[in-house]
Each structure stands twice: as C-alpha cells, then as structure tokens.
C-alpha cells in the first residue's frame, strides 16, 4: 500500500495566518510551582509560561507555537489545541539535545500524535506517549496498526488512506499528502558515489545504553 505523511505545510499555512509565538518571556509570569499539575508545568516549559494559564493549563488560543524536541518532532499548540508532530526523543549520542522525555511529552496532554514517517527516529516513542496520555495516533493504516500492536492496551488511532485524507482538529484542517521517502528512480551511474568517512566521536563520547538499544530493537 502507498504510504502517506501528514503535511506539515498545513500547519505552516496556519502559522502564517496567525500570530506565531516566540517562547521568550517579555515580563514576569506566574509559573507552575514545584510538584504542581504536571500538565501545567510541561506546557509552560514547552510553550512559555506567558502563553499558558497557570490555573487551568490552557494555551493562548490566539497563538501558534511549535517547540522542537528532536529530528522532525514538534510539540505544537494551535488555537489552544495541543498535539505532537512525530514522537521520538533522541537517545545515545544525540541525547540531551533537548532535555525531555516521553513522560514529559505525555504530560503535555496532547490530543493527537501525527506520524509523518514510520522509522524509529520519528515514531519510536509514540506508543508510550499515547498510552500515558490517551492521545489519538494519526498516520497510515500501517503506522496505526504497528504502533497499536506494540502497546500493552488498545490505543486510539485515526488511520488515513487513499479515500480518507482530511479531517478537522478543532479549528485546524489536517490534510494528508503523499510524500515518497526515496527517489522515484534508482541511480544510474552518471555520478561517482559519495562515500562519507564516519565520525565516531559522538558515539564514543555518548555511547548508547542497553536500554537505548533495546528501545530501538523493539521498534525495528
């Protein structure tokens, strides 16, 4: 079956039509106290305390906020709705580029997790986050089935297919578009192959743990 990816251009278009928030406090804002509601604390950390109601955890509905946490993964708030674009926290040599965890991402209480690509570095934490938060996973039928099979309990899923490519999330229209991961044609030898010498320095400095390797093996 052909694979489909959730178009990030839909969200970029929404951002262009709204006030895009820059997470830089302009004045002191009440922050969540230690041991306070974890959703409020997580949302203030990802979206900026000045954009999150310290009592309810609601995000400013007049803002479009995207907070990167690795590879092509973003915690996103549009019109007050919170969701994730892809779901993987980098491990091993790439750990702590953005110091967060699947548990903290689940604490954001996202309504949906959009899977644009099924490889581990885009989707390996989706099952854990969805299990903890109750978020609905949106992706191809293959994505939804495989991630649901990895979970200990049934997940909420919203599979997209050839005749099901669009739906509405709050005030945002989500439209899936086909995007091939590889080129349409194989190389024919017109150019010499590009061979890159690997740099193992990051791996030596930040070797993956047994838990990291098991995590990747489980998603393979």
Calculate mean pLDDT across residues 82-102.
Answer: 88
Cβ within 8 Å of residue 99, ≥6 positions away: none
Alpha-carbon dihedral of residues 181, 152, 81, 103, nearest 10 degrees?
-90
More confident residue, 99 or 219: 99
Dihedral of alpha carbons 37, 41, 42, 48, sign: positive
Residue 186 confidence class, pLDDT cut points 50, 70, 90: low
Helix spans in the chain (H): 8-16, 38-47, 102-107, 120-123, 126-133, 141-150, 201-205, 210-219
Q: What is the pLDDT of residue 29?
A: 52
Residue 68: pLDDT band (50, 70, 90) is very high
Question: Nearest Cα to 170, choosing from 62, 63, 82, 68?
Answer: 82
Q: Locate tokens 């997940």: which residue?
A: 155
pLDDT (average), residues 153-165: 90
If we measure between CA atoms, which residue out of 173, 165, 168, 146 comes closest to residue 157? 146
Where does the pLDDT of residue 211 fall: very low under 50, low under 70, confident under 90, or very high at 90 and above?
Answer: confident
Q: State which of 24-28, 156-160, 164-168, 183-187 shows the largest mean pLDDT.
A: 156-160
What pLDDT shows up at residue 13? 39
Cβ-proximal residues to 170 (8 Å cutoff; 6+ apart), any chain: 78, 79, 80, 81
């Amino acid at each position: 079956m052909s694979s489909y990816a959730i178009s990030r251009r839909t969200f970029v278009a929404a951002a262009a039509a709204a006030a895009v928030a820059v997470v830089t406090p302009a004045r002191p804002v009440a922050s969540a106290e230690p041991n306070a509601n974890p959703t409020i604390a997580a949302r203030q950390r990802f979206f900026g305390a000045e954009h999150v109601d310290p009592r309810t955890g609601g995000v400013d509905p007049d803002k479009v906020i995207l907070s990167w946490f690795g590879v092509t993964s973003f915690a996103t708030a549009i019109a007050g709705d919170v969701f994730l674009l892809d779901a993987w926290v980098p491990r091993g040599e790439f750990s702590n580029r953005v110091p967060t965890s699947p548990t903290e991402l689940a604490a954001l209480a996202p309504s949906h997790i959009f899977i644009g690509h099924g490889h581990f570095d885009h989707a390996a934490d989706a099952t854990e986050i969805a299990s903890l938060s109750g978020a609905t996973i949106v992706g191809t039928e293959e994505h939804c089935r495989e991630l649901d099979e990895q979970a200990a309990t049934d997940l909420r899923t919203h599979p997209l297919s050839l005749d099901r490519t669009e739906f509405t999330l709050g005030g945002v229209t989500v439209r899936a578009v086909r995007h091939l991961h590889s080129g349409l044609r194989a190389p024919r030898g017109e150019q010499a192959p590009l061979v890159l010498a690997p740099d193992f320095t990051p791996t030596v400095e930040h070797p993956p743990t047994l838990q990291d390797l098991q995590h990747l093996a489980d998603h393979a």
